[in-house]
Amino acid sequence: MEIEEYFAQAVDRLLTGESIDDILVSYPPSVRGELRSLLVVVEAAERMATVTVPAPASLNRVSARLLFAQRAAELRGDLVAVSAAAPTAALRSTSTATSDKPTLWQRLRDGWDAIRPPAPLLRLAPLTSVLIIAFLLTFTVVVSAQESLPGDQIYGLKEWMFNQRLATAPPELLATERDIIAKEQVDDVGKTAAELNSRPEASAAEAVGTFQYRGEDADFLYFGDLLVTKGYRTDVNDPDSWTPMSGNGELQPGVIVMLRYQIVPGPMGVVEGISYRIMQEPPQPTPEPTPMPTPVRSVGCQRIQPRGWTAYSIGTNETLRDISARSKVSSVELRRVNCLTDGPVSAGTTIFVPARIAVPPRPLQPVISATPMPTATSLPPTAGPTITPTSSAGSIATEPASTELPEATATEISGETPAPKGTATATPTGASATATDEATPRGTETPAAPESATPADGTDTPGTGTATPAQSTGTPAASPTAGAETGTPATETP
């Protein structure tokens, strides 16, 4: 229990007739000394109220006047006799009597002595009672103001207490104290909104508060941590009764304004702005001396790092909803603090999040290494076929020279077997046959070779006989292996 409750109970028991010592026994030792002082004052005040001051008797008053007049006459006669005998002495005595007149300081001292003895406690009891009553009333009012909510009659005193806290805060702690007060104001608005939502028949609650303007977006103004619409409804049940919010100047981030707003049943954390009045302009930085100074004003929403929040970089494939789930803060709150618009956020963006957020482990990045490709190995060319024609008696066969053939490519010939790029044809002329190697260049179709090469008829008459050389047909086989060609000569038919 508080000391005020102990004091109220003790006064009730004292008025019933209990002694102070009996009353103090039933209370803790820590409060007995203070209770004793207060109860003594109450007891003295009660005694003064019951004591009657006797009125002065008229007979005593008359006798006192007679004695005073008689004594004055005697003194006057003495003065006349003395003045007749010695005028100078009379004048001196008159001046001395005049100098004995009490001064202002003596009067003040005599007055203090008159109120001090013999019972100063009884004379100070009314003053003490007044001080006690003033203390109790002040304590009650302060407690009631701290428990008030927006819309209450005494909430203005709570706002005054907020302003006093800001006025007495040290400069280095002013921003921190302002954030704490902004949180308390938002909590008070939330409690009032919850109370209005619980009572559907409740009307809008109007309140006035001092806030720091932080910025705006398309729909809301940000006063401290409070979301304020840019107008209000004169009739809560009529959505067409929308009136724009009025003000006495241009809002800039950082200004201190007195905001009049109303809380309506509906979404929590959002109020309707009625009007505002700029109380204090933000401190303007001293511009450097330039030939043509250009003042720059910051527009739009201004990011301010709340107390207990830290900077965080958004990772790849990470959404604002994931960050909201880990930090236990709604996505709307994250967008409001970081001045983010609706839509996805890109990876690498730095935002402010609560310091208690759980940071997920970074995924392992695959390392790509170069794989060596196989190296093509070319084989040396293979010697072409050697065709040795067989001649009849009396004929001289000439052996063709061996020639290196270029890389052979198998070419498909319709209706025929593939022919190699090099075709050897033996054409004997006269008494001798000469083999000729004709090469077909790459990339062209090779015409089909005839089944047999018939040499020109030659007549050799060594004596009386005639010799006809045999026809030779050379068709080497084509092999596309490693760019080489292997020729197999055909047999000559005599």
Residues 25 and 156 occupy one common structural domain: no
What is the CATH classification number for the domain harbouring 336?
Answer: 3.10.350.10
**Residue 201 placed within a domain:** yes
The predicted pLDDT at position 476 comes to 44
Please report the DSSP string for 190-231 in residue order: HHHHHHHHH-TT--PEEEEEEEEEEEE-SSEEEETTEEEESE
Residues 276 and 135 occupy one common structural domain: no
CATH number for the domain spanning 261: value is 2.40.50
Query: Of 326, 347, 323, 486, nearest to 420 (Cα)?
Result: 486
pLDDT for the residue 86: 54
Verify that 157 and 222 share a domain, yes or no. Answer: yes
- Indicate if 123 and 158 belong to the same structural domain: no
Which of 200-214, 292-306, 471-485 has the highest average model confidence (pLDDT)?
200-214
Tokens linked to 287: 């511009």
- pTM given for the model: 0.33
CA 64 from centroid of its chain's CA atoms: 89
Q: How far apart are CA 452 and CA 492, in angstroms?
A: 10
Residues 348, 272, single domain; the answer is no
| 334 assigned to some structural domain | yes
Mind listing the pLDDT tens digit for each residue in 307-324?
A: 888 888 888 888 888 888
Q: Does residue 42 carry a pLDDT above 70?
A: yes
* Counted domains in the chain: 4
Give the pLDDT score at 196.
82
Q: Please tell me the distance from the alpha carbon of residue 479 to that of residue 418, in angstroms, as a whole number.
A: 10
Residues 259 and 329 in one domain: no
Q: Which two three-digit tokens encode residue 18?
A: 């209990």
- 183 in any annotated domain: yes
The DSSP code sequence of 237-256 is T-TT-EEE-EESS---TT-E
Residue 260's nearest CA partner among 234, 241, 237, 232 is 232
In a shared domain, residues 228 and 118 = no
Q: Is residue 153 situated within a structural domain?
A: yes
Above 70 in pLDDT, residue 403? no
Residue 77 structural domain: 64-94
Q: Are 41 and 112 in a shared domain?
A: yes
Q: Which pLDDT belongs to residue 7?
A: 85
- Across 177-183, average pLDDT: 87
Model pLDDT for residues 366-390, shown as the tens digit of each residue:
656 656 666 555 555 555 555 555 4
Same domain, 18 and 131: yes
Q: Give residue-wise pLDDT tens across range 243-295.
A: 888 988 888 888 888 888 988 877 777 888 899 988 877 666 565 656 554 44
133 and 1, same domain (yes or no): yes
